[in-house]
């Protein structure tokens, strides 16, 4: 076992604070990773505060946007060597046998994926702990390769925000020349803009705030429209082939659906606190579709990393010390981050 420095929420009401955990010594198929950076996902806050209906496992070490270097490999590990730049995303294991796992869609494992944190290992009794820590031991099949030349700190958010936006574009089919709207310009939205543009789409950012116009265009969007302006919905009616909706706050699905062409698809990535009224006619009259998407499988996550490297895409980040994490949470809740906090884990050894 490796005693490892971490930051944990001791209880749902507690601030994150230094905490020591044990990482298993690498088994034959395991990779031990020295964590360099970990992105801060909004779901870290929800889970650390147990806002998803209870059942959170405490003390909890959040973090599922992990990058670092291989420190040690098990005897059967092929394809990873000490010093390699690697990543770990939202899950670290799955049943490996069901139809979804064998199809490479481990995120939909019929026996449930093993979440990187706030989950249980396949033994059912060992809690998992995430990337707000200095190292992690992960089965080689759930380790991603960070392409050469990609800045590690800016790569971290790709492991969740990147795959969460890339996967639906592949699954629902964003094609070159498609008109794509991205709703919301946060951690997910800013990645959606970059990826959709790299796929050849003509990208429009829809945001409540006119203040995001310059950022949207700087990130690569071809156009911007403020949704607070009622004229926007008339002007852009039946315009888009796809809408990537990253917003978790309540908003009017029907108004956004009206912006889709016939046969267009809107893909939900955010989960508002309460169900949102849906008018069947908004789907029926133009044969529109409303779909969801959830991260992506290991194979597709690697494909996304390679795609991002090829297109020189990474996340726009604000690098923080681990000691700033509680303040970062408060700023995220206020929407005050462009566009992802990433923890520099070199600051943890000192803190712990």
β-strand 16-23 against 2-9: which pairing, if any?
A: antiparallel
* Residue 23: strand pairing partners: 2
Total residues interacting with a second copy, rule: CB under 8 A: 34
**Under rule CB under 8 A, residue 41 binds a second copy:** no
Q: If binding is defined by CB under 8 A, does position 233 make contact with a second copy?
A: no
The yes or no reply on residue 171 touching a second copy (CB under 8 A) is yes
Least separation in angstroms between CB 206 and a second copy: 17
Please tell me the distance from the alpha carbon of residue 123 to that of residue 110, in angstroms, as a whole number. Answer: 16
String marking each residue 80-119 x if it binds a second copy according to CB under 8 A: --------------------x----x--x-----------
Looking at the Cβ atoms of 298 and 348, the one nearer to a second copy is: 298
CA distances in angstroms from 121 to 74, 124, 203, 247, 271, listed in the order given: 18, 6, 40, 31, 26
Which of these ranges, 113-121, 130-138, 178-186, 262-270, lies near a second copy under the rule CB under 8 A? 262-270
Selected binder of a second copy within 13, 149, 234, 262 (CB under 8 A): 262
Residues 6+ apart with CB under 8 A from 201: 174, 175, 176, 177, 178, 179, 180, 242
Q: Which stretch binds a second copy (CB under 8 A): 63-71, 188-196, 198-206, 267-275?
A: 267-275
First to last CA, the chain: 18
Subset of residues 275 to 294 that bind a second copy, contact rule: CB under 8 A: 275-294
Binding of residue 28 to a second copy (CB under 8 A) = no
Q: Which residue has the tokens 């639906």?
A: 168
DSSP 119-144: SB-TTSSSB---SSBSEEEEEGGG-E
**Residue 249 makes contact with a second copy by CB under 8 A:** no
Taking residue 214's Cβ as centre, other Cβ atoms within 10 Å add up to 10
Contacting residues toward a second copy, per CB under 8 A: 100, 105, 108, 171, 253-254, 262, 265, 268-272, 274-294
């Amino acid at each position: 076992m490796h005693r490892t420095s971490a930051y944990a929420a001791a209880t749902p009401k507690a601030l994150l604070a230094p905490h020591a955990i044990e990482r298993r010594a690498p088994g034959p198929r395991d990779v031990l990773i020295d964590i360099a950076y970990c992105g801060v996902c909004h779901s870290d806050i929800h889970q650390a505060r147990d806002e998803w209906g209870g059942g959170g496992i405490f003390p909890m070490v959040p973090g599922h946007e992990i990058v670092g270097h291989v420190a040690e490999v098990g005897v059967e590990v092929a394809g990873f060597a000490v010093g390699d730049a690697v990543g770990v995303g939202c899950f670290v294991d799955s049943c490996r046998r069901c139809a979804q796992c064998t199809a490479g869609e481990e995120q939909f494992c019929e026996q449930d994926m093993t979440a990187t944190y706030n989950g249980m290992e396949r033994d059912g009794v060992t809690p998992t702990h995430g990337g707000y820590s200095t190292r992690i031991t992960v089965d080689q099949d759930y380790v991603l390769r960070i392409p050469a030349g990609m800045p590690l700190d800016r790569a971290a958010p790709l492991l969740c925000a990147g795959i969460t936006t890339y996967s639906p574009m592949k699954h629902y089919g964003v094609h070159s020349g498609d008109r794509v709207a991205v709703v919301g310009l946060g951690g997910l939205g800013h990645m959606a803009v970059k990826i959709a543009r790299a796929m050849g789409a003509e990208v429009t950012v829809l945001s409540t705030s006119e203040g995001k116009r310059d950022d949207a265009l700087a990130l690569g969007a071809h156009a911007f429209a403020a949704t607070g302006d009622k004229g926007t919905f008339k002007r852009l009616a039946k315009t888009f082939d796809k809408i990537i909706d990253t917003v978790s706050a309540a908003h009017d699905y029907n108004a956004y659906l009206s912006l889709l062409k016939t046969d267009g698809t809107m893909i939900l990535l955010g989960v508002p606190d309460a169900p949102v009224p849906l008018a069947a006619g908004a789907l029926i009259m133009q044969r529109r579709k409303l779909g969801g998407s959830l991260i992506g499988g290991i194979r597709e996550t690697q494909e996304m990393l390679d795609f991002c490297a090829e297109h020189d895409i990474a996340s726009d980040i604000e690098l923080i010390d681990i000691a700033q994490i509680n303040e970062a949470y408060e700023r995220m809740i206020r929407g005050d981050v462009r566009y992802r906090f990433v923890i520099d884990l070199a600051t943890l050894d000192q803190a712990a």
